[in-house]
Amino acid sequence: MAKTSMSLWIGGAAGDGNAFAGRAFIKACSRSGLHGFAYNSYQSLIRGGHVLLQTAVGPEKVYTQADDCDILIALNQDTIEREAADAALGVLYNGDRLKLDAAKLRPGAKTLALPCMKLTSNPLLQNTVALGALFQLTGLDFALFETFLKENFDKKGDAVVSGNLAAAKAGFEYSQKNFPDLGIRLPKREGRHMVMTGNQAIALGAVAGGCKFFSGYPMTPASSIMHWLSPRAAKFGLVFKQAEDELAAMNMAVGAGIAGVRPMTATSGGGFALMTEAISLAGMVEAPVVVVEVQRGGPSTGLPTKTEQGDLFQVLGAGQGDFPKAILAPIDLEDAFHSTVEAFNLAEKYQMPVMLMSDLLLSEHEGTVVDLDMDVKLERGTWAVPGQAPEDGGFFPRYADSETGVSPRAVPGQEGLMHVASSDEHDERGNLISDVHTDPAKRVLIMNKRMRKLEGVLRDFKPTRLEGPEDAELTIVGWGSTTGMMRHVMRHFNQNGAKRVNILPIRYIHPFPADDVLSILKRAKKVMAMECNYTAQLCRLIRMETGFHIQTRWLKYDGEPFYPGSTIAKVSEVLRG
């Protein structure tokens, strides 16, 4: 029986067209009603270095990349040397430029050499030729590839479109005449799915969530949020500003929040370090702002193009002093969209900074999304009524004490609502209380008012729940992108009605849902944590907040994500006790 799911790897150097080829493949699969997952392992170089795009597709939801591939497309000799032995069925390559010793392949794997110089006059189109052959080998509808090429190159003119179409067709026909059947037939199913990255989901969530101001400074792996928003800003009525650095970007965003619009900025750990004083400023002046922090390998410049989850305590402790803030950690593409909307609602409702923590794998991998409900609810919070001046004719009590900690909000220029947004501690009207003589009682009053907001935030959080069977033998705990591997593992161990594994994805970091988490962990038979960092930061946070110590841990910090084989082996070991 032919395989209806498969893993494709595309290897080469930066600039060889790996990403283009992978995008064409996964989009064709999504338009055939299939699911897909693509992860690009690349280096911190503009050109050169080894790049390996790893895709997996099939009729069922795909949560992660595979340990090896069915077919490898090698765009340079280095890829053949590094990756050819991991191809189960065959290696597609430019036989006019590259050499492959069949003796180094797995038993049964085929050498699929393409005479690219004969099939196209443009040597840059070897990836298009290889994709044409791939469509024939996998049974994908070639018309989908033709549509993708027309969409992708339409703005570059007819000559570019026709050149790519000819190269693709030549690869398809050569494969049809010369290559054996590899036993793969990707089916066509009803419907079609969207394909997006985590950063695109965050950017789309910002637009749906009413974001009207974005300021940022490029830093991998957060930059693609800027890349998505910038050309669309005018269409969505959003002011886009690339600042001179992260300090300016954060201060601009805080100013926009004070001015009454929904602002956002995005960065990675190094840039976030520069933003933290202004985040504390937002806490003091009670300005709503959303900050996206996409983690990569650290410390310092670290691993700029590799994934990690090492910034939890950096974000948790961002800013001097105690002030209310919320930290959300989305767990998949759909959640990245909805968590962004939730972050904006929380920021405005409670007039405070809200951090959205992602990581390179979640933000940069491409995946299929079946449906995304764009009909979201926007909560603007409590606003003062313009024109109603205070009875004594003085300043408006912008920071008036309240049961919830939330004061009626006003923006500059509103009649009768004049106030000071001071970075020093202040009274209800924004007047400083520590210039000549500090007022301890007022300090306590205002501090208590601000911090009471966290009680409401915690109530607004959705319940933290298990996924999978309640009475499983093992509960796996994780956050962010590790949720995909956790779901993959759970499906693996729970086949045929087994109840071996359930998972607990944590999507709220602060304020921490301690009661929900502790209740679940106390009922668990065995508990294991999965994190991409050295110090098990989520485990430390759980112990701080609940007293529950997770002793069994599966940690990874080499820059690459978890892979199925080693993770399943670890879980098997834990299940055996």
Measured between alpha carbons, how far is 181 from 137 in angstroms, rounded to an integer?
7
Question: Which of residues 154, 172, 192 is at a domain's end?
Answer: 192
Q: Please tell me whether the peptide bond between 221 and the residue prior to it is cis, using omega within 30 degrees of 0.
A: yes
Q: Which amino acid is at 328?
A: L
Q: Which residues does residue 51 pair with via DSSP β-bridges, in sequence order?
A: 12
The C-alpha atoms of residue 371 and residue 127 are separated, in whole angstroms, by: 31
362: left (phi over 0), alpha (psi -120 to 50) or beta: alpha
Residues 362 and 336: their CA atoms lie apart, in Å, by: 9
Instruction: Based on the fold, state whether residues 213 and 105 are members of the same structural domain.
Output: no
28 in any annotated domain: yes
pTM of the model: 0.96
Percent helix, percent strand, percent coil in the chain, to nearest 5: 40, 20, 40
3-state DSSP call for residue 488?
helix
Helix (H, G, I), strand (E, B) or coil at 477: strand
Statement to judge: residues 181 and 111 lie in one domain: yes
CATH assignment of the domain containing 159: 3.40.920.10
Q: How many domains does the chain have?
A: 3
Phi/psi region, residue 235 (left: phi>0; alpha: psi -120 to 50; beta: rest), is alpha
- What distance in Å separates the CA atoms of residue 482 and residue 51, rounded to the nearest whole number? 22
Cα(6)–Cα(254) distance, rounded to whole angstroms? 47
Helix (H) or strand (E) holding 49: strand 48-58
pLDDT digit string (tens) for the chain, length 577 residues: 899 999 999 999 988 889 999 999 999 999 999 999 999 999 988 888 999 999 999 999 999 999 999 999 999 999 999 999 999 999 999 999 999 999 999 999 999 999 999 999 898 999 999 999 999 999 999 999 999 999 989 889 999 999 999 999 999 999 999 999 999 999 999 989 999 999 999 999 999 999 999 999 999 999 999 999 999 999 999 999 999 999 999 999 999 999 999 999 999 999 999 999 999 999 999 999 999 999 999 999 999 999 999 999 999 999 999 999 999 999 999 999 999 999 999 999 999 999 999 999 999 999 999 989 989 999 999 999 876 655 556 678 999 999 999 999 999 988 888 888 999 999 998 999 987 788 999 999 999 999 999 999 999 999 999 999 999 999 999 999 999 999 999 999 999 999 999 999 999 999 999 999 999 999 999 999 999 999 999 999 999 999 999 999 999 999 999 999 999 999 999 999 8
**Which among 161, 192, 223 is the end of a domain?**
192
Can you give the CATH number for the domain in which 497 is found?
A: 3.40.50.920
Do 150 and 166 lie in a common domain?
Answer: yes
Identify whether 37 is part of a domain: yes
Element (H, E) at 457: helix 453-460
DSSP state letters, 347-374: HHHHTSEEEEEEEHHHHH-EEEES----
Sheet with strand 326-328: strands edge to edge: 239-242, 211-216, 262-267, 289-295, 353-359, 326-328, 508-510
Assign residue 268 the CATH number of its domain. Answer: 3.40.50.970
Q: Which residues form the domain of 485?
A: 474-576
Q: Which of 110, 184, 174, 182 is nearest to 140 (CA)?
A: 184
Say if 399 falls within a structural domain: no
Same domain membership, residue 208 and residue 163: no
Residues 118 and 203 in one domain: no
Q: Cα separation of 375 and 17, whole Å?
A: 37
Q: Please tell me the distance from the alpha carbon of residue 119 to that of residue 168, in angstroms, as a whole number.
A: 9
Picking from 152, 176, 192, the residue at the C-terminal end of a domain is 192
Is there a single domain that holds both residue 312 and residue 348? yes
Asked if the structure places residue 461 within a domain, the reply is: no
